[in-house]
Chains A and B, each alone.
Chain A
Amino acid sequence: MSTSRYLGQRIGEHDAVISGIGRSQVGRKLGRTGLSLSVESALAAIEDAGLTRDDIDGLSTYPGLADASPGMSPNGTADVQDALRLKLNWFSGGGEVPAQLGAVFNAVAAVSAGLANHVLVFRTVTESSAQTPERRASVVGSGGTRVGGPMQWMVPFHAVSAANWVGVYAQRYMHEFGLTRHQLGQIPLNQRRHAQLYDKAIFRDPLTMEQYLDARLVSWPLGLYDCDIPCDGSCSVIVSRADAAPDLKQVVRIESIGSALTGRNSWDQRADLTETAAHDCTKMMWARTDLTIDDVDTVQLYDGFSFLTITWLEALGLFPKGEAGPWLEGGESRIGLGGQVPLNTNGGQLSGGRLHGYGYLYEACAQLRGEATGRQVEGAEVAVVGAGGGPLGGCILLTKDR
């Protein structure tokens, strides 16, 4: 199949920039409402962009208000629009998009189409506060009602957590290509090393390979440190029309987007259980740019589960299919600060908290702006952000304004 399927008549991404970024307090059991976190990150991003509340004419979020899943998404567009009394020309919130970053893609499309000049994109979670001994975050089917849609094919069999679904992929990859838990452990160890450099990460104590391997299993081959940590927090970015951004010194350019899903939209029907939507959307992203993986200075890739990061690294073309294990044995020389492609320089979600895709986006922008104090990738000019797992995937190639 020709890659031309991914090319429109123009690359509309170039019409939009990320003009500002904001991050709320992030932590465990903060005891704050989702809306207070959303407002904090939103106002921070607006101020950072050099804009005012009245400049914001677009609003976008993922996955929209999700009351049924505790803490997953306590706010939708209505809450935030009304709290800030935004006068909007365009808005969108929902979960049926190319994974978490879909809300950013929608904002870029709206700006490129001329429907809005400055779109506030936010993502808020209160999963830590929502968690109790009896009620865990992100367990599907705990509501007591009958299950429909795609989840009905998994949760009745007690495949209730993404740990189970991703565990199957990880097992098949290990079977197929010989990946070991020791090699997989390079991902959480890397993130913990980076978290130690970032005072806003949540888990900053040293983590050794022995601790990783000895930790209790969650869903084999995934253990405790292969799973990210629920947190409370919010990230916002402002997607602006390129020629309307107030401060061109700090804008982050959007080189290309990958939003494709050419495989089955399903966790268990994909023909190759060692690949995910990451393998689909990255092809589109690369087809829409002249840049290549060799141009990339840092990658901020989904690590809701450590194995998902491997699918992103592989899909981006950092090593041939199946060769994640030997590649990762390079440890810091591969993915550490100063390595081949510094990965998840903020500690990722494994050590930084599950900001559900938006922590990576915030971090990539901070790196490209040269503001990642203590963990800065020297001379970072090109970054990839990829979010999602299984049938969920979306990625974006960002560049420093040049």
Chain B
Amino acid sequence: MTFQPLPSITADTAAFWTGGADGVLNIHRCKQCRTWFHPPTPVCPSCLSTDVGPEPTSGRATVQGFSVNWQPWAPDMHVPYVVAVVSVDDTDDVQLTTRLVEIEPDAVSVGLAVEVVFEQVEDIYLPLFKPADGRVPVSITDGESA
């Protein structure tokens, strides 16, 4: 059996974990002050309104940091693979840990533009990310030193 831990689904997290069935990366958003936030909770962390819920995003994101994993943590794991933290472009500060696909580890860099691609396992649609073709990388603040 392949090593693939899966999340449990709750009322708060269902739209995030199953949005891929419709090809959509859902992120929670406040219907009052319009703040995006993650992880999904029943209250807006900005204005404390409980009038919140999932909304579709563009599925586009930017790599903020990554690590190339070489250690097979389970017997049937394929290495290397790239773990990354990406920021969702539609939002101010929502970041997701994910796995990058369709890219060689050497080609990954901070600022790389990526887009969501879903991997279905049982009832979960894992939001993985691949390079967003034809897009200019989003510049990262604080300087891009080599």
List A residues at the B interface (Cβ < 8 Å): 134, 136, 139-142, 146-148, 150, 152-161, 163-165, 167-172, 175-178, 216-222, 266-269, 271, 273
Contact = CB atoms under 8 A, between A and B. Distances in A.
Contacts of A221: 67
Contacts of B109: 175
Given A158-B99, A268-B96, A273 B67 contact: no
A158 B124 contact: no
B7 interface: yes
Given A147-B6, A147-B7, A157-B126, A268 B95 contact: yes
Contacts of B124: 156
Interface stretch (B24-32, B47-55, B72-80, B131-139): B72-80
Nearest to A221: B67
Nearest to A218: B71
B110 interface: yes
Given A148-B7, A178-B146, 17 more contacts: A147-B8, A153-B39, A156-B4, A159-B83, A161-B69, A163-B71, A164-B83, A167-B69, A168-B65, A168-B83, A171-B110, A172-B110, A175-B109, A175-B110, A219-B71, A220-B69, A273-B64
Nearest to A163: B71
Contacts of B77: 158
Contact of B97 (A139, A157, A172): A157
Contact of B73 (A152, A161, A267): A161
B8 A153 contact: no
A136 to B, nearest CB: 6
Contacts, number: 132
A165 B80 CA distance: 15
Contacts of A165: 97
A160 B83 CA distance: 10
Interface of B: 3-8, 10, 13, 38-39, 64-71, 73-75, 77, 80-81, 83-85, 93-99, 105, 109-110, 124, 126, 128, 142-143, 145-146
B97 A161 contact: no
Given A147-B6, A159-B83, A164 B67 contact: yes
A158 B83 contact: yes
23 contacts: A147-B5, A147-B8, A150-B39, A152-B8, A153-B39, A153-B97, A157-B83, A157-B128, A160-B74, A163-B69, A163-B71, A168-B85, A169-B65, A171-B110, A176-B143, A217-B70, A218-B70, A219-B67, A219-B83, A220-B69, A267-B97, A269-B94, A273-B85
